[in-house]
A and B are shown apart, each in its own frame.
Chain A
Amino acid sequence: MYELVLPQLGEGIDKATVAVWHVQCGDTITDQDDIVEVVSDKATFNIPAGASGQVREICASQGDEVAVGQVLARIAQAENS
């Protein structure tokens, strides 16, 4: 199972707020698909899936504040990804 985490967004940025999910559980995605948009101060940042497969779990809701490194979603990877 692949865990998508909030990546480093810049020095001094240790958290962000979930703004928009572009997918829902059960969706099939590719590693390059932007699956969630987060907001930090004056920037929105779209996070790509990082793995191809099926979204199994969404771990943060719209409006939640998440820390860098915190798991945002779990993706069951396709066998040949």
Chain B
Amino acid sequence: MRTCDLGLIDFIEAYRLQKDCVRKVGEGGTETVFLCEHPVVVTQGRSTQPGHLLASDAELRKRKIPVITIDRGGDVTLHAPGQLVVYPIIDLRSRGRDLKVYINLLEQTAINFLNDLGIAAQRNPGYTGVWVEDRKIASLGIGVSKWIAYHGIAINININLERFSLIRPCGLDVQMTSVYDRRGPEIGMDEAKSLFLTHLLRIFK
């Protein structure tokens, strides 16, 4: 499996890289994990309902926050610097062709990563994603083409959580939390990327 740190990258540019990689993996190329952060952007998955974008068009324009509808599962979410976004391009043909199992493995990767940081992260029955008590710390949404998975998971490291007030995250009345919120500034993005990758490669070996 190849890993690729894209740094701070525009959401659409990262999407194009993913789609190109999906095609290559489908043709027998090496599975790849992209890690990155995005400039502030709101994305709407296929399950987004009206009213889940709380900010007005005027406010979003004033704050220069684009809104992009994209081909992933799930509702509305927000990406911004300080959030680790991971896009595993994974061949599910050799991993059981089971969407639920794959999503479960992504959740488990995040749980193991956060537990390793001393954060009591867990699942919340009925609600996909990763939670700390009643607050959400990681959100998931995937796309699959020819059984090659793309999109992935976003984990709040030290993102400004105030921005989530612009949306109903994942369509839920939920407060978000982050590694910084739980542990303070000691865990930076570089360390988070390295540790998350360790756990991901362990689960997807």
Contact = CB atoms under 8 A, between A and B. Distances in A.
Contacts of A13: 99-100
Interface stretch (B8-16, B70-78, B108-116): B70-78
A48 B74 CA distance: 22
A48 B148 CA distance: 12
B35 interface: no
Interface in B124-174: 128, 140-146
A37 B71 contact: yes
B55 interface: no
Interface in A32-54: 32, 34, 37, 39-46, 48
Given A9-B99, A10-B99, A11-B101, A42 B145 contact: no
Given A39-B73, A42-B103, A11 B146 contact: no
Given A19-B46, A37-B71, A42 B98 contact: no
A8 B97 contact: yes
Contacts of B101: 10-11
A11 B98 CA distance: 7
Contact of B100 (A10, A19, A48): A10
Classify chain B's interface size: 20 to 34
B175 interface: no
A20 to B, nearest CB: 8
A43 B47 contact: no
Of the candidates A34, A41, A43, the one having the most CB atoms from chain B within 10 angstroms of its own CB is: A43
A39 B46 contact: yes
Contacts of A20: 46, 71
Contacts of A48: 146
A65 to B, nearest CB: 12
Given A8-B97, A10-B98, A13-B99, A44 B72 contact: yes
Given A9-B99, A10-B100, A13-B99, A44 B143 contact: yes
A13 B73 CA distance: 14
B146 A41 contact: no
A29 B102 CA distance: 30
Interface of B: 45-47, 71-74, 97-103, 128, 140-146
Interface of A: 8-13, 19-20, 32, 34, 37, 39-46, 48
For the complex of A and B, the 10 pairs showing the least CB-CB separation, nearest first, are A10-B98, A42-B73, A10-B100, A43-B73, A10-B99, A46-B145, A42-B74, A43-B99, A19-B46, A39-B46
8 contacts: A10-B102, A34-B145, A42-B103, A44-B71, A44-B142, A44-B143, A45-B144, A46-B144
